[in-house]
Amino acid sequence: MLNMYCPDPARSKIAIDALIDEVILVTGRSEFSAPEIVPGLRVLIDSLNREAGLNDAGLEAQRHGLVNTLCNRLRLDGLFRRRPEILAEKIRGPIIIVGLPRSGTTKLQRVMAEDPGLQKLPLWKILNPAPLAGDGESAVNDPRIDIAKAVVQAMRDNAPDFFAGHPMDAMAADEEVFMADLVMRGWNPCYSAKVPGFENWLEQQDFSPWYRYLGKLLRMFQWQDGSPQKPWLLKTCEHLPYLHELFAAFPEATVVHCHRDPLSTIPSLGALTAASWKMYADDIDDREAARFVLRHMEKQMKGYMAQRPVLEKRHRFVDVGYSEIVNDIHGVIERIYFAAGVELSPEARKAMAAWEAGNPIAKHGRHEYSLEKLGLRENEIRAAFADYLERFGGLMQGG
């Protein structure tokens, strides 16, 4: 997860036993209630210590992030034990936006999230899904809001290149993937630091626990705010190769796939990943970050393409091109609502139009990237995504 940090130059490495002891102390628990995540936690910590090349500030940032994640997990475990009625909540939908990163998914999510008729996950809930006190929440005074605002400001100040590529807003909808660390099934650690050991471990894992836990989290959020009649809106690019697990958890989901030429998305994500790694380490090779991105996203897309032909026969998919999102996003949204069986109200249309008018492209600066700087070649990207381009290339014109 993304968190603020205070540098501690004296710290030399992250120690799992000390980490767990700190989490137990902070949360006031008598024991660590999530032993199933310890194997993944050990691999991640070992990779951070040995492979990431973290500087002092980066080491403390990663340690603090892990403490925050584990504290959230223990608080959530306690909440689910105290309130078993949470799991009786019924999830409607959800509408789930997927696609290669940098393919218009964030804009589509942010515009649709303006609909008061949809449930969504603002960043302040994602960063700290567990209430810090008691079982409830307050959208006005909840201390998690101020924490998220401080995180966003720190990102804006310390990582302007990253912020230009992925603007953040404490109150705006963001990606549920940041919560996957709660079950050690998230790829976010690989995009925040160079951790090939954890990457290799994660590739061998079953992701069903993440989708089951995401269902629990949505039920918890819904139980807190009392909106069971509203469909959910989600967005995470990392859902691509896990469609079987996704539909097992959410059989009524509508998947919206945003398509853009990998020649644009892969170098853009490569540059964004390099900027992210540089927040925590001093000696980062942009080309190495780009190689990780190409390798990972090729595997993600191949997994998706293997599952899509079977699953589209019994589940709802909506395919949209990046140029459509840029030039006719309201037409795109009408198609999505129709497919999902959701009413698009006049109030929602007005709110969406207002958001788009107030958020022009490059509002937070331009995200610059190039194939040459990243050591990527056009022919290798096209070869990596050949099957994807063959089927969906027609949707990528003009984008």
Confidence of residue 137 (pLDDT cuts 50, 70, 90): low
Share of the chain above pLDDT 70, in %: 92
DSSP state of 173: B
Domains of the chain by start residue, with CATH? 88-396 (3.40.50.300)
Q: Taking 60 as the threshold, does the pLDDT of residue 6 lie above it?
A: no
φ, ψ (nearest 5 deg) of residue 256: -105, 115
Give the per-residue pLDDT at 9. 41
Segment 244-272 shows an average pLDDT of 96
The predicted-structure confidence for 282-327, as pLDDT tens digits, reads as follows: 999 999 999 999 999 999 999 999 999 999 999 999 999 999 999 9
- Average pLDDT of the chain to the nearest whole number: 91
Question: What are the structure tokens assigned to 51, written together?
Answer: 């492979």
Which contacts of 249-253 are long-range, i.e. CB under 8 A and separated by 24 or more positions? 249/211, 249/212, 249/214, 249/215, 250/91, 250/93, 250/94, 250/96, 250/211, 250/215, 251/315, 252/92, 252/93, 253/93, 253/94, 253/95, 253/96, 253/315, 253/316
- Backbone CA torsion sign across 241, 242, 247, 250: negative
Give the per-residue pLDDT at 4. 38
- H or E stretch covering 320: strand 316-321
Per DSSP (E only), the strands in 101-243 are: 233-235
The predicted-structure confidence for 14-29, as pLDDT tens digits, reads as follows: 999 999 999 999 999 9
Segment 121-137 shows an average pLDDT of 86
From the list 317, 208, 197, 178, the residue with the least C-alpha distance to 253 is 317
If phi > 0 it is left, if psi is from -120 to 50 it is alpha, else beta; for residue 376 that is: beta
Q: Kindly report which listed range (2-6, 160-164, 195-199) carries the lowest average pLDDT score.
A: 2-6
Starting at the edge strand found earlier in the chain, the sheet holding 233-235 runs 233-235, 95-99, 254-259, 316-321
In 30-54, which positions are buried (b, 16+ CB within 10 angstroms) versus exposed (e)? eebebeebeebbebbbbbbbeebeb
User: Which alpha helices (H) appear in 113-187, and where do they start and end?
Assistant: 123-127, 143-158, 160-165
Give the per-residue pLDDT at 12. 64
Segment 205-232 shows an average pLDDT of 94
Contacts with 106 (C-beta within 8 Å, 6 or more apart), sequence order = 166, 167, 235
Confidence of residue 133 (pLDDT cuts 50, 70, 90): confident
Give the per-residue pLDDT at 87. 95
Q: Taking 70 as the threshold, does the pLDDT of residue 347 lie above it?
A: yes
Identity of the amino acid at 82: R
From the list 139, 23, 135, 157, the residue with the least C-alpha distance to 83 is 135
The predicted-structure confidence for 44-96, as pLDDT tens digits, reads as follows: 999 999 999 999 999 999 999 999 999 999 999 999 999 999 999 999 999 99
Q: Taking 80 as the threshold, does the pLDDT of residue 365 lie above it?
A: no
Share of the chain above pLDDT 90, in %: 81
Q: How far is CA 323 from CA 74, 97, 123, 239, in A?
A: 43, 16, 27, 22
This model's pTM is above 0.85:
yes
In the block, residue with structure tokens 């690989």: 190
